[in-house]
Structure 1
Amino acid sequence: MRDDPTLQRLLREIAAGDQSALRALYDLTAPKLFGIVLRIQRDRSLAEDVLQDVYLKVWQAAGSYAPENGRPLPWLCAIARNRAIDGVRRKSEVQGPVHEDGEDWLERLADPRSSEGALLDRDALRVCLGRLDATQAECVMLAYCEGWSREELARRHDKPVNTIKTWLHRTLASLKGCLEGAR
């Protein structure tokens, strides 16, 4: 979906209050935005709710879209990503803090339809994560399973963003090496 003029026109029409333009935008972009939301949210029914929230936000914010600041699809994708992350955060606030041992994240990574090989991969991931520095492992899990930004991780750990970037890079490299050794 790279039809920028169409998306820009629809956003202008939405900003003017045209509900049919919102429907047309939904028809063109919902599959892409739902995929983004579902990768972050993981629960299909919650992801559907978040997608509704995305289009409500688009309805409210369409007038703030400025083509000179970027293409429309990345703007829409950013709204979807942010709404999905907000949903995950609200859910974790209700459920309480994330376990330090990473159990909740690992269980969430498991697909109930997965094969025995995928379960072995999950077990290998658990072993490899256990070999890492706990803080750095938590950063990787929060970044890649919960959608936290580097800036958010830097605030949480009171570290510079560049330190967090280095931690993420090195931790992923360590995980990759460990997982390759487990095969």
Structure 2
Amino acid sequence: MMQFKPYARSLAVAFSLALVAGCSSTGGTQDGSMSGSGTTSGSGAGASGAGTGQVSGSGLGDGSGQMADSRIPEVRTIYFAFDSDAIRPEFQSVLNAHARFLRNNPNANVVLQGHTDERGTREYNLALGERRAGAVEEFLSVQGVSPSQVEVVSYGEERPAARGSNEEAYAQNRRVVFAY
């Protein structure tokens, strides 16, 4: 039974990739013109200006899933509870969007930057930041993202998003950032 588990996982990943490949668009919708944020990574493949909404999606919700296949998702930071590396349910849709993007863009790479608040020792916070980024890496892997596309880095408390010694600042610093 133990030998069946890796085989079943490999089969599930292969099936997921085949499904994604079969459902993916044949190009032409990578115009990148919607948000105007200017932060789309310049791979040179996206300025064709071709059709909008031509991706054959399921028409779910607000349409954010349609463009997620060809553009880096806009939300690139997820947050964690104090002293925890557990992914909070409200961020699963963000992680799913990044997984979908990475699966559909096999040449794209991401660095998962783990961060903590200032409480705890430097060593503990570096380890906690790595566990947080590792939890995100594991989530992406289960979703079929190739391990070669993902790198994990921990900054611990060294690069705070917010200065201050209060819960509001701490909450903003307990995070993993997707750096494409």
Return the TM-score normalized by structure 1: 0.28
Structure (1 or 2) with the greater helix fraction: 1
Q: Give the structure, 1 or 2, with the largest relative contact order (CA under 8 Å, sep 6 or more).
A: 2
Return the TM-score normalized by structure 2: 0.28
Larger radius of gyration: 1
